[in-house]
Structure 1
Amino acid sequence: MAVEEVLSDLKKKIEEKLPSGTTISSVEFEGPQLVVYTEEPKKFADNGNIVRNLAKALRTRIVVRPDPKVLMPPEESIDKILKTVPEESGVSNYHFDPDVGEVIIEAEKPGLVIGKHGETLREITKKIGWTPKVVRTPPIKSRTVQNIREFMRTNHKERKDILKSVGRKIHRGCTSKDEWVRVTSLGGAKEVGRSCFIISTPESRIMIDCGVNVGSDDNMTPYLYVPEAYPINQIDAVVLTHAHLDHQGLVPLLYKYGFEGPIYCTPPTRDLMALLQLDYIDVAAKEGKRPPYASADVREGLKHTIVLDYEEVTDIAPDIKLTFHNAGHILGSAVSHFHIGDGLHNVVVTGDFKYEKTRLFDAAVNRFPRVESVIMESTYGNSNATQPSLQEAEQNLQNIVNSTLKKDGIVLIPAFAVGRSQEVMIVLEDAIRKGIIPNVPVYLDGMIWEATAIHATYPEYLNNDLRKLIFQKGQNPFLSECFKPVDSNELRQKIIEEPHPCVILSTSGMMNAGPVIEYFKAFAENENNTLVFVGYQADGTLGRRIQKGWKEIPISTREGTHVVKMNMNVEVVDGFSGHSDRRQLMSYIQKMKPRPERVYTEHGDERSCIDLASSLHKKNKLETKALTNLETVRLV
């Protein structure tokens, strides 16, 4: 059936199910959702069940939009909105888009603008005709969030055309009589870096992640030229599990080479993705390397990005539905559940996940309506790869900070901007608030403050305890006065030239670049200072050399090579990892509901992937396999 016929058929079905006297003017696909236009938005707003019942009956996501001719002028609308929402909601801005009849309301407390079961939103629609959408006013000003929101508004017309095209492809109807499902590994199998997989059916091809291995020149990119991925414009969609570069760093390259399809990810992943991609280009240029894509390609990717919240079931191809679930790894990270065909097969792709509640996130989800195959990470899949508990890690860090500050020393913590930094920040803030460690400044340098601002924008993606603290008690630990962003070279120089007891969190996490080098050069010779590693240090990095006990550290500068004498204490605090350790990986599968039939391992060195696959087979009597790059496995 042609798309026009499908739309005509849907319009008739909707009209049949509408209450008497309620009319619609047209229907259109936009991305995965069906948009219903009406000259009577008030009638839909009066009855909150209309859309819910339609979505249930038609088994698709439905959005109701007003016909432009019934919209109240923006100035009058703002007045009505202010009279409708509680004053304490903290409305800070409005953006009206007449093309889609939407008003975006920025508010400090979006829940108060939404109201119980969406009642306040419906009240707004009844009064002004516009469809209100609410976004959170970032409590910490974020350039990234601000720029992305502005970019999406500016390019709304082009984006609408993109979404229409995507919607028509999703709802094009199935044509093949064959039924099969295959998975191809294009990167990230028996290795860490350049994660990329393709799920293929007779109808569609979905790419899951498209990462870059920043630590390798030889194996930097996935095998994007093989038949399963080529031509790139034949891929239906890209699904991103999270924002780390080894999972999404090459997505803009796809647009450079002709991909025109959508990217699906959570809202925080979209924002962090753009932040890290632009930083990747910037760092490559500073190191004299040629970046694989330009900022224009990053913007093109943003135009094609469709964000989905956790637990939101969405059609992404004629025969595939996608649902994201919390993965507990970093902000917005998602375990991706693919429902293929009419109940034919269900695949869970874990991405990177943490099966334990942390200071930031709830444990990764492992309960699904159905699951037959699981593709899972194996970073710590080796039989001896166990991590201390978070409680031990926190206590260890507190002890190190206290003993250093007693000597009037400085604690320097190299950290990754996204995930690890915020985990350590929460631990330090809690310890300072409770008097466990002295109230000293905690300086945040590099991209850490910007990444933290994005965390503060999306508290609904944090764990239950943090959400309660932020929403019910009005306490946001990220806004603590102990945190001091280093937002200028002048402040950095002042910290270096006027040393005082403090904690410095700085990028990069492996000490191969970034402002951490400046601090290290300044503070390494003083034996009262301490360098604390809270993350993995890869071979060949400066961090690994220091861990090995080097006492003279050569550092390249513009003036030549500078040798730093290493006298400061070096400590390693394990346990803050965003990955599951061996016990958690085993437990994740053992406790999965329903029990899967087979498990494929990836995202770990060869030994870890094979060891985990073998152990899962022995322990659970499941079919298991460690995937290999360029291999295609048939699931059905």
Structure 2
Amino acid sequence: MSSVDKQLEELKAEIEDELPPGISVSDVKYEGPELVVYTRDPKDFASNGDLIRKLASKLRKRITVRPDPDVLMEVREARERIRDVIPEDAGVTDLDFHADTGEVVIEAEKPGMVIGRHGSTLREITKEIGWTPEVVRTPPIESSTVSNVRNFLKQEREERRDILERVGRQIHREEMADDQWVRITTLGCCREVGRASFILSTAETRVLIDCGDKPGAEGEVPYLQVPEAAPLNSIDAVVLTHAHLDHSALIPLLFKYGYDGPIYCTEPTRDLMGLLTLDYLDVAVKEGRTPPYESEMVREAIKHTVPLEYGDVTDIAPDVKLTFHNAGHILGSAVSHFHIGDGLYNVAFSGDIHYEDTRLFNGAVNDFPRVETLVLESTYGGRNDYQTDQEDSERNLLRIINETHEKGGKVVIPAFAVGRSQEIMLVLEEAMRSGKIPEMPVHLDGMIWEATAIHTTYPEYLRDDLRDRIFHEDENPFLAEEFNHIDAGEDERQEVSDGDPAIILSTSGMVTGGPIMSWLRHLGPDPDSTLVFVGYQAQGTLGRRIQNGWDEIPMNDRERGGRGNTLSLNMGVETVDGFSGHADRQGLENFVKTMNPRPEKVLCVHGDERSVQDLSSALYHDYNMRTFAPKNLETFRFK
């Protein structure tokens, strides 16, 4: 008998000792980080509301209770009983029964009404029918991504359960190493922006944090071939902080080269990763490049995700616990806190953070029980990298829109599909509603509409007051009538360009391809129109060059069957700071300054050379902590 099987037997006996008479346990299994308890008495479990919580607290495990398949109520009757229990106002749109696990997935417009106060309605459902309810939100805006991911995971339930059982046994395996140490190896994003990737190693475990590409630098990928990372099939877990491509683009590549383990991320990060990586492949083909992996690898990555919620402490290895906290950067972005060993060491990876509240998100969390080392992004860590106050930024943007509107021109805003676009949408919706700018169409091109639909699917990850507005459909700002999804391609772009004043939000945010190139063709020669940058433009990107004064723009017409040529840019070019999803220099310092207790060491990463060195030096002098501005392929031993 393996050590895991023995452990499960002992857990089953311990659970049986804790249960009241008459409640049986037929089986106990690990599925990923969760302990799944099968019982012939699910209704009795549900009647005792505190029972699962007490078991989880005593065993220090995340526990899910499922009914034995042979005690389940017949589906037709169960469907009727569920409809009787759930209030009609909840807007149930689908009931999906899975007899193999005894679960029923309830999709509803208002999941909170299905859950009930402290889970009371869910317990009532189980008491009535014996099935274990799981609740998902019906997207207020139809999302093909959310729908495709849910349907795919439904089709793959059986294989996914096999994967989770294998992952669970790996997590709870017996510790083999006598030695104890902690190391971080930098595989990318050091003294540069992009290709974020790190290996966190212990004597027992290796965890890969992020695996992204480098914007504007084809072929520069993380150093996955070094001994700390290779072979990939020996890595225990992958943690994805958020879905932007400079952190996620090469996650599917791991499966092409032998990785077969879990990816820990939040649920919206999983969906956005699917959206962005599939588009990444699409753009590569359109630009005549060979994609680094096939779309099948994206599906493989999604199949291996283990979604975690903010604040859940989760075992991901015998000696590593992971907790995600809101990073305030984009939907589902997470500061990743690792507790290693039995109190041995604590490391936090900031990912990308925004410390102050924005219209979209609450500010980044920096409250941890312990952190000895912080790996901190430094995108705006330079000595003079202070962003404009948000109110001033909004006033500046609205001034540019009004001036361009008076000239009869169009405002073109290149923006990341995820995060900045939704932030700008909220500003524009409020400004038109309050009369600060004239009402006019706001055209959303590229993936922006789909990304917005995903935002409305997960309002619990948004700023508190925005979440409350989305719960009330008549107040959902993303459903404002000014917003138009460009879905007829080039003909519609031509029509918009020839028409009345309008605002165009278009990907890509750094002008590295995608529909923004079409808008430059249509409107670049027009001196009455304005190009407005609202996000970071990485070195080497066309966006940075235009910011720096380029007015002859190389245009690649390969996808239109022509050769490359140049375009004279006559439209105005403006940069409005303050809309970035990254903390500026002050925000980064405040994030560290207000941590309690402060970390002993800080590694400043994900910034150009000047930014990381400036921030590292300032934190050292101001807060008397050991700081580093590592290069790629450095290894730090902390214990």
The answer to whether TM tops 0.5 is yes
Aligned position for 1:571? 574
| C-alpha spacing 1:162/1:399, structure 2 compared with 1 (3 Å) | same
Give the alignment's TM-score, normalised by structure 2.
0.97
Distance 2:151 2:339 in 1: 34
Distance 2:98 2:201 in 1: 38
Aligned position for 2:285? 285
Aligned position for 2:507? 507
Aligned position for 1:348? 348
Deviations 1:262-306 (A, max 9, x none): 000000000000111111111111111111111111111111110
Q: Which aligned pairs between 1:89-168 and structure 2 lie closer than 5 A?
A: 89-168=90-169
Deviations 1:140-190 (A, max 9, x none): 111110000000000000000000000001011212221111111111112
Distance 1:581 1:621 in 2: 21
Q: Report the AA paired with residue 55 of structure 1.
A: A
Aligned position for 1:73? 74
Deviations 1:516-560 (A, max 9, x none): 222222222332211111122334433334333344434232333
| C-alpha spacing 1:607/1:64, structure 2 compared with 1 (3 Å) | same
Distance 1:497 1:211 in 2: 35
Deviates more, 1:26-35 or 1:363-372: 363-372
Distance 2:74 2:239 in 1: 39
Distance 1:174 1:157 in 2: 29
**Partner secondary structure for residue 421 of structure 2:** helix
Aligned position for 2:603? 600
- In the TM superposition, residue 257 of structure 1 has moved relative to its aligned partner by 1.1
Aligned position for 2:586? 583
Aligned position for 1:415? 415
Q: Which aligned pairs between 1:338-377 and structure 2 lie closer than 5 A?
A: 338-377=338-377
Distance 2:252 2:567 in 1: 39
**Partner secondary structure for residue 367 of structure 1:** coil
Asked if structure 2 preserves the Cα contact closer than 8 Å seen for 1:496 and 1:522, the reply is no
Q: Structure 1 residue 196 and structure 2 residue 197: aligned? A: yes
Distance 1:338 1:394 in 2: 37
- In the TM superposition, residue 474 of structure 1 has moved relative to its aligned partner by 5.2
Aligned position for 1:298? 298
Distance 1:560 1:600 in 2: 45
Aligned position for 1:245? 245
Asked if structure 2 preserves the Cα contact closer than 8 Å seen for 1:108 and 1:138, the reply is yes
**Partner secondary structure for residue 413 of structure 2:** strand
Aligned position for 2:485? 485
Q: Report the AA paired with residue 504 of structure 1.
A: I
Deviates more, 1:595-604 or 1:561-570: 561-570
| C-alpha spacing 1:458/1:424, structure 2 compared with 1 (3 Å) | same
Deviates more, 1:543-552 or 1:570-579: 543-552
Aligned position for 1:258? 258
Aligned position for 1:626? 629
Aligned position for 1:56? 57
Q: Report the AA paired with residue 147 of structure 2.
A: Q
Give ranges in structure 2 of 5+ residues lacking alignment: none
| C-alpha spacing 1:497/1:391, structure 2 compared with 1 (3 Å) | closer
Distance 1:614 1:549 in 2: 31
Distance 2:534 2:497 in 1: 26
| C-alpha spacing 1:623/1:546, structure 2 compared with 1 (3 Å) | closer
- In the TM superposition, residue 375 of structure 1 has moved relative to its aligned partner by 0.8
**Partner secondary structure for residue 64 of structure 2:** strand
Asked if structure 1 preserves the Cα contact closer than 8 Å seen for 2:387 and 2:578, the reply is yes
Distance 2:154 2:356 in 1: 38
Q: Structure 1 residue 388 and structure 2 residue 409: aligned? A: no
Q: Structure 1 residue 467 and structure 2 residue 467: aligned? A: yes
- Cα RMSD after superposing both structures: 1.5
Aligned position for 2:547? 547
| C-alpha spacing 1:473/1:594, structure 2 compared with 1 (3 Å) | farther
Distance 2:65 2:228 in 1: 38
- In the TM superposition, residue 421 of structure 1 has moved relative to its aligned partner by 0.7
Distance 1:141 1:412 in 2: 26
Q: Structure 1 residue 270 and structure 2 residue 273: aligned? A: no
Q: Report the AA paired with residue 31 of structure 1.
A: G
Distance 1:436 1:529 in 2: 19
**Partner secondary structure for residue 453 of structure 2:** helix
**Partner secondary structure for residue 37 of structure 2:** strand
Deviates more, 1:548-557 or 1:239-248: 548-557
Asked if structure 2 preserves the Cα contact closer than 8 Å seen for 1:496 and 1:519, the reply is no
Distance 2:536 2:42 in 1: 54
Q: Report the AA paired with residue 637 of structure 2.
A: R
Identity score, percent: 59
Distance 2:630 2:273 in 1: 26
Give ranges in structure 1 of 5+ residues lacking alignment: none
Distance 1:627 1:194 in 2: 15
Deviations 1:97-140 (A, max 9, x none): 11111111110000000000000011111111110100000111
Q: Which aligned pairs between 1:208-223 and structure 2 lie closer than 5 A?
A: 208-218=209-219, 220-223=220-223
| C-alpha spacing 1:520/1:29, structure 2 compared with 1 (3 Å) | same
Asked if structure 2 preserves the Cα contact closer than 8 Å seen for 1:411 and 1:504, the reply is yes
**Partner secondary structure for residue 221 of structure 1:** coil
Give the alignment's TM-score, normalised by structure 1.
0.97
Asked if structure 1 preserves the Cα contact closer than 8 Å seen for 2:216 and 2:539, the reply is no
